[in-house]
Amino acid sequence: MLRKWSILAFVAYLILGLVIYYYLFIFADSTVPDIYKGTSADPTTFMNAKELMLSEEYSKIRNLLYFLSTPYEWLIYFFILIFGVSRAFEKWANQTSRFRIIQNAVYLFWLSMLSFALVFPIQYVSYDLSKTYQISTQTFPQWMKDEMIDFWVNYGTMLIIVTVLYAMMRKFPKKWWLAAWGLFVPFTIFMMYIQPIWIDPLYNDFYPLKDKELEAKILHLAEQANIPAEHVYEVNMSEKTNALNAYVTGVGNHSRIVLWDTTLERLSDDEILFVMAHEMGHYVEKHIYFGVAGYLLLSLFGFWLISKWLNRTIEKYGKEFKVTKSSQISSLPLFLLMVSILLFISSPITNGVSRYQETRADDYAMEITRDKEAAIQTFQKLTKAGLSQVNPPFLVKIFRYEHPTMLERLNMVETYPLKKVDPSKKEQPSS
């Protein structure tokens, strides 16, 4: 039975890989429709032949890696279960100590190490790809440093989650999903507070924006958006990437306005103000709160569904998986497998909501800056810096894109009907 299952799973993965390759490299059409030819959304108007070729190559390979890496993760969890690896890790953990927290820590360490080792080849290929196409500027030691930080941050976070989750499973066998979700809510909000202050600085150096004249302009926009920020921060992302980005993170008094130094170097002040107005649009529209609320509601449904799915799967296939009940720590790979599948299945919905919010933020930026030229130049430079496809294939868009495509964003800017406003609202602070 185990041999049959493993062969079927491996063959299914190979077939999926061939289908995805055919779709991305042969079937899918990413050319711009004739109606957009010659407009600002036509990549031939702002990218040369070499850039167009590289963007197509890079995007196709990167998308292929994405669609292969997710089911590869499922394959790893499946094999860890059916070959008894998870059960072996549980036995080692139980022999280490009589304290549950230590048993969980030992089990999770071995599971995390094995998963890291098996996923590492795909992670390295992804890094090497971005390095080859000059998106990444990291040396291998720098990249490995970030991978190690990722490992330990994820390990520490998972240890807390797993310990609480399995404690709830033992204490509330039938309603553990509700109890776990009840604790998941404050934990999520807590992480939102500590992310910009404690976790982000582990990866990069943040420091106040050096250009004080630009900072004054950005803070003027922030004041209009009622964002409680006294400083604008820049971060030294040029050590890692040639891509451009900026964001507003955190909530309440922990809000931070952050600009990548690559953005400061390659965009004009007007273009930077458009980017910042877009990010502030998320704050004004309260997208972070709607996003968290939606995420928590979705997680409630997810916890409930997994509880039913997990119990039925163990009842039917527990012998093959070497798991007798869901409250065993050795059921964790099955739990993670189900979470990953549900996240993948729901991604078209969550990405669709995200694209709507990004469109609203673009609208806000257009209204607050009223600068079509800066908006167009910004989107075109973002496309070139990231070697992005202007018009990605449909499946790539719905499964991968949290933002509208550049075709949609550039077309929106060109056709945006700017309303007349009171001139006093365009007042800028004196430097």
pLDDT tens per residue, range 53-88: 999 999 999 999 999 999 999 999 999 999 999 999
Per-residue pLDDT tens over the stretch 386-395: 999 999 999 9
From CA 85, how far away is CA 77, in angstroms rounded?
10
Rounded mean pLDDT, 394-419: 93
Give me the pLDDT at residue 363, please.
95
Q: Check whether 254 has a pLDDT greater than 80.
A: no
Give me the pLDDT at residue 221, please.
86
Asked if 279 is an active-site residue, the reply is yes
Rg of the Cα trace of the chain?
Answer: 24
From CA 282, how far away is CA 67, in angstroms rounded?
29
Structural domain spans, the chain:
2-203+286-415
CA 362 from chain center: how many Å?
Answer: 20
Per-residue pLDDT tens over the stretch 167-190: 999 999 989 999 999 988 888 878
> Positive or negative, the Cα torsion across 307, 308, 309, 314?
positive
Q: Considering 279, 367, 414, 427, which one is annotated as catalytic?
A: 279
The structure tokens listed for 33 are 């429709």
DSSP state string for 116-176: HHHHHHHHHHHHHHHHHTTSB---HHHHHHHHHHHHHHHHHHHHHHHHHHHHHHHH-TTTH
Give me the pLDDT at residue 429, please.
44
Please, which contacts does 176-182 make with residues 24 or more away whose CB atoms are closer than 8 Å? 176/307, 176/327, 177/303, 177/304, 177/306, 177/307, 178/303, 178/304, 180/303, 181/296, 181/299, 181/300, 181/303
Ligand-binding site membership of 231 (annotated) = no
Cα–Cα distances in angstroms (integers) from residue 202 to residues 109, 196, 264, in the given order: 21, 10, 22
Band of pLDDT at residue 206, cut at 50, 70 and 90: confident
Burial class for 158, CB neighbours closer than 10 Å (0-12, 13-18, 19+): middle
Q: Check whether 430 has a pLDDT greater than 50.
A: no
Q: Check whether 428 has a pLDDT greater than 50.
A: no
Cα–Cα distances in angstroms (integers) from residue 400 to residues 113, 136, 302, 358, 363, in the given order: 27, 20, 20, 14, 22
Residue burial 194-227, b: 16+ Cβ < 10 Å; e: rest: eebeeebeeeeeeeebeeeebbebbbebbeebeb
Rounded mean pLDDT, 115-135: 95
Asked if 315 is an active-site residue, the reply is no
63 with 57: CB under 8 angstroms?
no
Q: Considering 234, 362, 371, 408, which one is annotated as catalytic?
A: 362
Ligand-binding site membership of 220 (annotated) = no
Band of pLDDT at residue 420, cut at 50, 70 and 90: low
Which has the higher per-residue pLDDT, 194 or 221?
221
Lowest-pLDDT range, 49-63, 170-184, 238-252, 302-316? 238-252
Band of pLDDT at residue 249, cut at 50, 70 and 90: confident
From CA 39, how far away is CA 52, in angstroms rounded?
16
pLDDT-above-70 percentage for the chain = 95
From CA 150, how far away is CA 39, in angstroms rounded?
42
Ligand-binding site membership of 223 (annotated) = no
| Residue that has been written with the tokens 């390659």 in this structure | 266
From CA 83, how far away is CA 276, in angstroms rounded?
51
Give me the pLDDT at residue 88, please.
95
From CA 326, how far away is CA 311, in angstroms rounded?
6
Lowest-pLDDT range, 49-63, 93-107, 252-266, 301-315? 252-266
Which has the higher per-residue pLDDT, 342 or 283?
342
- Closest to 245 (Cα-Cα) out of 235, 232, 230, 255: 235
Band of pLDDT at residue 255, cut at 50, 70 and 90: low
